Amino acid sequence: MVKRNKTSAIKREFPRRSDATRARILEAAREAFATLGYDRATVRAIAQMADIHSSMVMRYFHSKEGLFAAACVFDLCLPDLSRIPSNQLGEELVRIFLDRWESTGAAGDLPALLRLSVTHPDGREKTMAVFTEQVKPAIERVVTSGNAARSATLIATQLVGIAFLRYVLRLPAVVDLSQEELVRHVGRTVQRYLDGG
């Protein structure tokens, strides 16, 4: 007869204390990043919200960047693009993405994610997931060209290029452009990619 190990049975029945602590940190981080933004949400502030010592945050996530990548959910809440007239899709896509980049909401702090994608592997992975799981499928459904994947990739170069120059590097010439200027000019290029040109 095999003797049952009482300790391992208890471990299976009850979650480890470390799981609860990790979950508390993630919950506090989500709230902090959503309300304060990436820059103002410090590790110390997040630890206070989670009611633990800041060293515990570092123990579980190693850095603020790692915590941000683990905690934040980025849902672009893209509308059904097939409802938009096909000749207006280019401009509308640019307008939608400018809106997502400029507000935190459900989409999360996208400029912070883009900055993180350059310096942190988790940030890069999360950025790639947003593109492959949300952006690419939404665009591929409305592309009229023969190569939808190629068109979606080319459109992403335009959208990410705007985001990087306007919200990360904050290049004055790009920051000074109005939303409508960007929508009008970049929208034409996006429309060409949608049409397969």
Task: Dump the DSSP string for 17-80.
Answer: HHHHHHHHHHHHHHHHHHHHHHHH--HHHHHHHHTS-HHHHHHHHSSHHHHHHHH---------
Q: Is residue 1 part of a domain?
A: no
Q: Same structural domain for residues 63 and 95?
A: no
- pLDDT value of position 10: 47
Q: Same structural domain for residues 90 and 175?
A: yes
CATH number for the domain harbouring residue 190: 1.10.357
Q: What is the pLDDT of residues 167-192, one digit of tens each?
A: 999 999 999 999 999 999 999 999 99
- pLDDT value of position 196: 81
User: What distance, in Å, lies between the first and last C-alpha atoms of the chain?
Assistant: 73
For the segment 106-118, the average pLDDT, to the nearest whole number, is 84
Answer yes or no: is pLDDT of 12 > 60.
no
Q: Same structural domain for residues 180 and 112?
A: yes
Q: Same structural domain for residues 130 and 33?
A: no
Tell me which residue of 34, 193, 181 sits closest to 98, measured CA to CA: 181
The confidence band for 106, taking pLDDT boundaries of 50, 70 and 90, is: low
Q: Same structural domain for residues 29 and 119?
A: no
Checking 95-103 for CB contacts under 8 A at 24+ apart, the result is: 95/179, 95/183, 95/187, 97/159, 97/162, 97/163, 98/162, 98/179, 98/182, 98/183, 100/76, 101/162, 101/163, 101/166, 101/167, 102/167
Q: Same structural domain for residues 29 and 99?
A: no
Q: Is residue 171 part of a domain?
A: yes
The confidence band for 122, taking pLDDT boundaries of 50, 70 and 90, is: confident
For the segment 120-125, the average pLDDT, to the nearest whole number, is 88
Answer yes or no: is pLDDT of 14 > 50.
no
What percentage of the chain reaches a pLDDT higher than 70? 89
Number of domains comprising the chain: 2
Give the structural domain span for 33: 6-71
For the segment 130-139, the average pLDDT, to the nearest whole number, is 94
Given 50, 71, 92, the domain boundary residue is: 71
Q: Same structural domain for residues 85 and 111?
A: yes
Copy the structure tokens of residue 94.
Answer: 């640019």
